[in-house]
Amino acid sequence: MGASRCSCGSRTCGSLVRMGRLIPVVFVLALTVTALSMGRKEAPAQKSAPASAMPACGIRGSVEIWEGNFMPMIAPGRSGGAITPGAGRRVRAHEPVYMGAQGLAQARRDTVTTALVAETICDSSGRFFLAVPPGTYSVFVEERGGWYYNGWNGEGVQGAVTVPPDSVAGIVIKITSKATF
């Protein structure tokens, strides 16, 4: 009893056609098994505060004081500038403060007229946390009798930080009023 032949006359042609349909299925199965075997790598367990002590949302950040010359130097590694933590600085989150009709704003304000939402003092490393509900805020740092902020967003909110629901937004406030760039 001989092997059956394909319409083209070959004995192997039909088996290759069947095998050709099987190859994509085998390939997909192999990829699936590989992906499932990789698993999810968990971060190592860390000691943390009880859930009741951790804020659901807010603004976590740090304040840096930049002073001196930060211009690109001819000799690499030479700079006359220093960056120090804003230890003991008062940080405030206010309802949004907009730039105004003139379209320009200084990096420092004498007063902030919108409602104060939260206030804190930076620790010895310049870090702070403000517990605030979700929303957009203007964040200011006390500086020489006024309030300093970093830039504004596309809607003209000065010192803008947006806190999504159930999240903590991060920010680094760089006080550069005594720095040269």
- What's the confidence (pLDDT) of residue 78? 64
- For 118-154, write each residue's pLDDT tens digit: 999 999 999 999 999 999 999 999 988 888 887 878 8
Whether the per-residue pLDDT at 21 is higher than 50: the answer is: yes
Q: What is the DSSP string of 65-119?
A: EEEEE-SPPSSTT----EEEE-TT-EEEEES--B--TT----SEES---SPEEEE
The answer to whether residues 158 and 124 touch, using CB atoms and an 8 Å cutoff, is no
Q: pTM for the full model?
A: 0.64
| Alpha-carbon gap, residue 121 to 62, rounded angstroms | 11
CATH classification at residue 147? 2.60.40.10
Mean of per-residue pLDDT scores for the chain: 74
CA distance 21 to 92: 66
Residue-wise pLDDT for 39-57, tens only, equals: 323 223 333 344 445 567 9
Q: What is the pLDDT of residues 89-110, one digit of tens each?
A: 999 999 998 876 545 556 667 7
Q: And the tokens for 1?
A: 């009893």
Which residue segment(s) compose the domain that 120 sits in? 57-180
Are residues 72 and 140 part of one domain?
A: yes
Residue 95, pLDDT score: 94
DSSP H or E run through 156 = none
**The two structure tokens encoding residue 145:** 């009798």
Is the pLDDT at 159 greater than 70? The verdict is: yes
Spatial distance between the Cα atoms of 137 and 96, rounded to a whole number of angstroms: 5
Q: Looking at the structure, tell me whether residues 80 and 121 fall in a common domain.
A: yes
Same domain, 162 and 99: yes
Domain count, the chain: 2
